[in-house]
């Protein structure tokens, strides 16, 4: 077993003012404290700009004042700004140094860890937080050699230091080393046991974790064991082993939460035990068992209520979720957000909005839940309007907010607003994968492919499969099949796993460009190389590709050989190909199949009507129209829109209500005459 060197005896903390008799604060000192409290309140609300203005206006600043703003910059992960601000500080204490150290160690940039080490070496004074901050940074990055070296140099180690090393060795898969460190710990707390159990479970060694708790644990440690039991119950739930979780839960004696009225810890179920078991049930959709447990609980906290409400929303039982919400003694922001999310998930956006408007206070997650609810239900105008209201009342958007609004901009499309959001994102946030992907989609759909490509290139090593797929989809949307196929080859070279959506875009791109052999190669690559089962969308794109190239018999053979039932999109693609190639017999057959699947669809009638009309068979076309009317099938009018002059102009087929309709008709007539003259 590894023998860790004994810690160097620590020097007692000296506080010069501790022995002095307390004196009344001067008016100047009290004013500084008031300013500090106001500054802290603004920062807690996320109002950094307002806090910075207040900071600049404060004439006398203490080190606490400076540390408050420095900590806010660190939380925003703006390491450059934090470093500049730190350099301008007239006085610094250990908190100042630790805050900048934390900013470096929390940064995703690899070179910032080296900067953290240089800062650590320059620090005039270090405390336990200093050492543990750098130690945690090494552990999070898997640099256990550096972590071991630093751990050995620590003048004082607290329980958190030992727990960090245990966590690191487990994360690196070095289970035996983790156990050596655990055994060498001079003092263990409940977090130590939980760390050990968590390490076992993350390495798939559930049986060893349970054996530790149920067979090897000393009687003297049992008062610390309930948290570790709770950890293992939750871990069982994560992998779906609910019966094992329940067996362990039943081994914890049922008490009355004596720990709430006494400082003496007891080995009995606490509220976390009940909540953990409930989460196991709700995770698998067993809300009945969860509700039984919920009703048996001797004491419930907010997590208990929210877990049960979340269970109902996950199975879309909003009637019970709302009923429980109204019975809840004091719903918090999480409770409101769960209800709002639940109603948006089942399409009841207006009902969700009623709850949103009644919220006593709203956080960024609340705004995001409602904004994304509008976007996911196709109400893009509602998305943009609520986002505008969020800004009006001083809400703080984050990357999730921008992702939803950018998606709405892409669907409308509103390129101007999307470009403005891009500028805000670059000003306030470091580039992140989620927002960059949304920007690529927005620019692609808005026709600004050059901007989409620029965002893609700027992402460098932050690209994921969706980044590649978004730009491939943009190329497909604008008929640039060659670029789409070339980017796909680059994606393969980068060893990025494509998704089924990527292949839909590639097949559609090949279909638009008539690249039949390339399309077949893409389809086979998807199935045989990546093992992605073809979905309806893939077959629809493949049928469209083959059929529009004139190989209607081959397209029909694909349909007949499908392992799944062809749906509307497949027969619709085949019907479109048949009418394009004027194969009346196959077109009627496809129209018949499509009408069986979707009797209310106007597509088969319209396409057959157009086929007859194009051949000049007006009588047959009229019969089709009459049959369509007799069946009560109506064609929804087409519409288009354009974002012009900070206003969205919508044009519906047959509508003449636009205020500039005469001018529009005049321009269109001019275009028509020009085309006729040129032909």
d(CA 57, CA 61): 10
Average pLDDT of span 390-418 = 87
Q: Is the pLDDT of residue 85 over 50?
A: yes
Q: Which residue has the higher pLDDT, 595 or 51?
A: 51
In this structure, what token pair is assigned to residue 299? 């004491």
pLDDT classification of 592: cutoffs 50, 70, 90: confident
How many CA atoms are closer than 13 Å to the CA of 660, on its beta-carbon side? 7
Q: Which domains does the chain have, with CATH numbers?
A: 534-636 (1.25.40.10), 639-679 (no CATH)
pLDDT score for 161: 95
Q: Which of 218, 220, 284 is nearest to 246 (CA)?
A: 284
Mean pLDDT of the chain: 85
Residues 186-223 have pLDDT tens digits of: 888 888 888 889 999 988 999 988 888 887 766 556 66
Q: Which residue has the higher pLDDT, 289 or 550?
A: 289
Residues 407-428 have pLDDT tens digits of: 898 887 678 888 888 888 887 7
Q: Which of 83, 121, 120, 122 is nearest to 103 (CA)?
A: 83
pLDDT classification of 264: cutoffs 50, 70, 90: very low
Q: Where are the beta strands (DSSP E) in 466-539?
A: none
The dihedrals phi and psi of 263, each to the nearest 5 degrees, come to: -75, -15
pLDDT score for 19: 39
Contact between residue 139 and residue 171 where contact means Cβ atoms under 8 Å apart? yes
Q: Is the pLDDT of residue 600 over 70?
A: no
pLDDT score for 307: 97
Q: Is the peptide bond before 413 cis (omega within 30 degrees of 0)?
A: yes
pLDDT classification of 123: cutoffs 50, 70, 90: very high
Residues 127-182 have pLDDT tens digits of: 999 999 999 999 999 999 999 999 999 999 999 999 999 999 999 989 899 989 98
Q: Is 159 helix (H, G, I), strand (E, B) or coil?
A: helix
Q: Lowest-confidence range among 91-100, 467-476, 657-666?
A: 657-666
Any idea how long the chain is?
679
């Amino acid at each position: 077993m590894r023998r860790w060197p004994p810690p160097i005896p620590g020097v007692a903390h000296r506080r010069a003012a501790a022995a002095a008799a307390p004196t009344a604060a001067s008016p100047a000192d009290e004013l500084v404290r008031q300013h500090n409290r106001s500054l802290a309140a603004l920062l807690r609300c996320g109002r950094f700009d307002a806090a910075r203005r207040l900071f600049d206006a404060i004439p006398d600043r203490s080190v606490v004042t400076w540390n408050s703003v420095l900590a806010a910059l660190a939380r925003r992960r703006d390491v450059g700004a934090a470093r500049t601000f730190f350099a301008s500080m007239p006085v610094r204490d250990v908190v100042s140094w630790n805050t900048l150290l934390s900013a470096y160690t929390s940064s995703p940039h690899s070179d910032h860890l080296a900067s953290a080490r240089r800062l650590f070496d320059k620090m005039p004074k270090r405390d336990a937080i200093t050492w543990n901050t750098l130690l945690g940074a090494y552990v999070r990055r898997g640099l256990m050699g550096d972590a071991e070296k630093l751990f050995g140099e620590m003048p004082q180690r607290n329980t958190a230091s030992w727990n960090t090393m245990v966590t690191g060795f487990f994360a690196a898969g070095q289970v035996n080393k983790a156990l050596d460190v655990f055994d060498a710990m001079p003092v263990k707390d409940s977090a130590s046991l939980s760390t050990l159990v968590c390490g076992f479970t993350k390495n798939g060694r559930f049986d060893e974790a349970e054996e530790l708790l149920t067979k090897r644990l000393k009687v003297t440690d049992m008062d610390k064991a309930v948290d570790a039991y709770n950890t293992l119950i939750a871990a069982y739930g994560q992998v779906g082993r609910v019966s094992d979780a329940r067996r362990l839960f039943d081994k914890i004696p049922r008490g009355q939460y004596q720990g709430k009225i006494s400082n003496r810890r007891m080995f009995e179920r606490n509220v976390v035990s009940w909540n953990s078991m409930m989460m196991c049930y709700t995770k698998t959709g067993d809300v009945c068992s969860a509700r039984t447990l919920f009703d048996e609980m001797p004491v419930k906290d907010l997590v208990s209520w929210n877990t049960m409400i979340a269970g109902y929303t996950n199975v879309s039982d909003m009637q019970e979720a709302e009923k429980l919400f109204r019975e809840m003694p004091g719903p918090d922001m999480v409770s409101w957000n769960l209800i709002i999310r639940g109603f948006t998930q089942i399409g009841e956006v207006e009902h969700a909005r009623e709850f949103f408007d009644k919220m006593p206070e709203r956080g960024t997650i609340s705004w995001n839940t409602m904004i994304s609810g509008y976007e996911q239900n196709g109400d893009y105008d509602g998305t943009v309007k609520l986002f505008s209201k969020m800004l009006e009342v001083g809400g703080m958007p984050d990357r999730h907010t921008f992702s939803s609004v950018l998606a709405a901009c892409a669907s409308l499309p509103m390129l101007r607003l999307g470009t403005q959001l891009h500028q805000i994102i670059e000003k306030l946030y470091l580039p992140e994968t989620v927002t960059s992907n949304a920007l690529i989609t927005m620019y692609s759909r808005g026709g600004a492919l050059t901007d989409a490509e620029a965002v893609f290139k700027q992402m460098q090593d932050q690209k994921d499969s969706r980044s590649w797929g978004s730009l491939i989809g943009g190329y497909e949307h604008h008929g640039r099949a060659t670029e789409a196929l070339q980017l796909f080859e680059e994606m393969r070279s980068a060893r990025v796993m494509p998704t089924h959506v990527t292949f839909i875009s590639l097949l559609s791109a090949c279909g638009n460009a008539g690249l039949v052999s390339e399309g077949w190669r893409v389809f086979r690559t998807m199935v045989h190389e990546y093992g992605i089962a073809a979905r309806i969308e893939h077959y629809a794109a493949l049928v469209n590709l083959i059929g529009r190239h004139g190989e209607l018999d081959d397209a029909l053979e694909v349909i007949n050989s499908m392992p799944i039932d062809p749906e509307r999109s497949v027969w619709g693609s085949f019907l479109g190909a048949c009418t394009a190639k004027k194969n009346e017999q196959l077109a009627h057959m496809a129209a018949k199949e499509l009408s069986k699947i979707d009797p209310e669809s106007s597509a088969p009638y319209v396409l057959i009507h157009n086929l007859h009309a194009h051949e000049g068979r007006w009588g047959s076309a009229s019969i089709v129209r009459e049959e369509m009317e007799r069946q009560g099938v109506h064609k929804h009018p087409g519409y288009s829109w354009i974002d012009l002059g900070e206003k969205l102009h919508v044009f519906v087929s047959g509508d003449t209500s636009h205020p500039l309709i005469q001018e529009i008709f005049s321009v269109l007539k001019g275009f028509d005459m020009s085309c006729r003259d040129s032909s």
